[in-house]
Structure 1
Amino acid sequence: MIFKVFYQEKADEVPVREKTNALFIEAESEKDVRLKLKSHNYNIEFVERVTGSFLEYEKQKENYKVLEL
């Protein structure tokens, strides 16, 4: 499954919308996503499973790239 993760670069900073980044990652569950990203020290705001037409829409964007961990 593909998940879209909204996060802040630094876990010790207060979340600010303008600094929110997103990445795509392949994992079995939301818990698996969080475990894979634990070593990156990100402040994860939200994890969303991406499927169907929403996934196809995201694939059309220039910045679509699935993170390999």
Structure 2
Amino acid sequence: MIYKVFYQEKADEVPVREKTASLYIEGVSERDVRTKLKDKKYNIEFVQSVDGAFLEYEKQSENFKVLEL
């Protein structure tokens, strides 16, 4: 399953909407995704599964690229 992760680059800063970034990653669960990103030192705000029509919509974005870990 593909997940969309909303995060801040620096884990020690307060989350600010304008600085929120996102990435796509494949995993079997939210816990699996968080484990894969643990060494990145991101401040993860939210992990959302992406499937069906939502996935098709996201694939149309020029920024859609699934992170391979």
> For residues 32 and 43 of structure 2, what CA distance do their matches in structure 1 show?
16
In the alignment, which residue of structure 2 is the partner of 1:14?
A: 14
In the alignment, which residue of structure 2 is the partner of 1:52?
A: 52
Structure 1 gaps, min length 5: none
Name segments (4+ residues, structure 1) moved above 3 Å.
none
TM-score w.r.t. length of structure 2: 0.99
Identity %: 75
> For residues 14 and 24 of structure 2, what CA distance do their matches in structure 1 show?
22
Secondary structure of the 1:34 match is helix
Cα displacement (A) at 1:44: 0.2
State the superposition RMSD in angstroms. 0.2
In the alignment, which residue of structure 1 is the partner of 2:42?
A: 42
The number of residues matched between the two structures is 69
> For residues 30 and 11 of structure 1, what CA distance do their matches in structure 2 show?
19
